[in-house]
């Protein structure tokens, strides 16, 4: 699977897109057949005048994966997390593998624009994605989150790192996948691996690539993002049933008021069970209670 050289044809528009994208690592070029050259320690990229793009090097596959289309699609794995900005509800991480034969299926569902999909649409299409792709999902309940978070030296990025690695490790163990793996970037790569070391994670998935807004470039990340959101919404529904209230998403002022009402009804322990207790919302609820 792991090749070191990839070449593909592009049109003028794509060529400009690629040249702009790699501007940060462009290098001098004296060859008149070559329009643009870029290099990092991990890969070298060349755009020829005839609109052929060549990518070489140890990490070539990851760069190639960015520019994949139906014609030059590459199987890849990706993961994303949901719930980190919501006071109520768990954190969910999903990881998925997308193969060439899944491309048309996912394209038709509109997976590529995952960030634009409404919750209604996600509820509609996620079950089909879950059924089709090789996936793993990890959920950290609020109870568990609050236990972990009160421990020393924990922060949200550490919890995310642990969950991404754990979920990807399970996926890879199950499938023996050896292709490129992409995480939607939430911290620097170096920091991610340091967190895993701190945690003494029993299995560390190596050679993971990080991209900002990866869900718009990698179908596996987009699919993971949709399914993670779906799971998150399912958990919220359960919480709504248990508390007999409509949960407001996010962490804004309306959430404080809702949380205040819940504490009045059930006592403060309700927050330990259903919210991310370390959020500033808890403090605001206490202030409301004093009034």
Footprint of Mg ion (CB under 5 A): 80, 184
Nearer to Mg ion, 182 or 258 (CB): 182
Nearest residue to Mg ion, scored by beta-carbon proximity? 184
CB of 81 to Mg ion, least distance (A): 6
CB of 136 to Mg ion, least distance (A): 16
CB of 166 to Mg ion, least distance (A): 16
CB of 158 to Mg ion, least distance (A): 16
CB of 78 to Mg ion, least distance (A): 10
Nearer to Mg ion, 60 or 227 (CB): 227
CA–CA gap between residue 17 and residue 14 (Å, rounded): 5
CA–CA gap between residue 270 and residue 245 (Å, rounded): 13
Nearer to Mg ion, 214 or 285 (CB): 214
CB of 196 to Mg ion, least distance (A): 18
CB of 45 to Mg ion, least distance (A): 26
**Radius of gyration for the alpha carbons in the chain, expressed in angstroms and rounded:** 22
Nearer to Mg ion, 214 or 262 (CB): 214
Q: What residues have CB less than 8 Å from 97, skipping those under 6 apart? A: 75, 76, 77, 133, 134, 135, 171, 175, 177, 179, 220
For the chain, the DSSP string reads ---SEEEEE--HHHHHHHHHHTGGGB-----TTEEEEEE-SS-EEEEETTSEEEEESTTHHHHHHHT--STT---EEEEEEE-TT-SBS-EEEEEEEE-GGGHHHHHHHTGGGGGG--HHHHHHHHHHHHHHSEEEEEEE-HHHHHHHHHSTT--HHHHHHHHHHHHHHHHHHHH---S-EEEE-SS-HHHHHHHHHHHT-SS---SEEEETTGGGT-HHHHHHHHHHHHHHHHHHHHHHHHHTSPPPPSSSHHHHHHHHHHHHHH-THHHHHHB-TTSHHHHHHHHHHH-
Nearer to Mg ion, 38 or 139 (CB): 139
Nearer to Mg ion, 137 or 258 (CB): 137
Nearer to Mg ion, 8 or 186 (CB): 186
CB of 238 to Mg ion, least distance (A): 23
Nearer to Mg ion, 6 or 211 (CB): 211
């Amino acid at each position: 699977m792991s090749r070191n050289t990839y070449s593909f044809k592009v049109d003028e528009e794509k060529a400009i897109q690629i040249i702009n994208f790699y501007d940060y690592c462009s290098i001098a070029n004296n060859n008149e057949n070559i329009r643009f050259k870029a290099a990092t320690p991990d890969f070298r990229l060349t755009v020829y005048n005839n609109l052929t793009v060549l990518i070489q090097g140890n990490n070539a596959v990851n760069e190639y994966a960015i520019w994949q289309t139906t014609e030059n699609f590459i199987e890849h794995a990706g993961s994303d997390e949901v719930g980190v900005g919501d006071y109520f509800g768990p954190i969910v991480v999903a990881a998925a593998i997308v193969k060439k034969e899944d491309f048309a299926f996912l394209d038709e569902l509109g997976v590529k624009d995952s960030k634009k999909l409404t919750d209604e649409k996600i509820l509609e299409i996620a079950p089909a994605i879950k059924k089709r792709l090789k996936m793993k999902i990890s959920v950290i309940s609020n109870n568990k989150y609050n236990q972990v978070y009160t421990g020393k030296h924990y922060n949200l990025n550490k919890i995310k790192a642990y969950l991404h690695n754990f979920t990807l490790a399970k996926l890879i163990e199950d499938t023996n996948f050896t292709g490129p793996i992409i995480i939607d970037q939430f911290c620097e790569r170096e920091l991610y691996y340091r967190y895993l070391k701190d945690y003494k994670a029993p299995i560390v998935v190596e050679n993971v690539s990080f991209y900002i807004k990866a869900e718009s470039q990698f179908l596996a990340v987009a699919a993971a993002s949709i399914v993670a959101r779906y799971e998150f919404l399912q958990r919220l529904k359960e919480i709504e049933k248990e508390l007999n209230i409509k949960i407001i998403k996010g962490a804004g002022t309306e959430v404080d008021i809702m949380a205040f009402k819940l504490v009045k009804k059930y006592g403060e322990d309700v927050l330990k069970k259903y919210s991310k207790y370390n959020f500033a919302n808890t403090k605001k609820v206490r202030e409301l209670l004093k009034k």
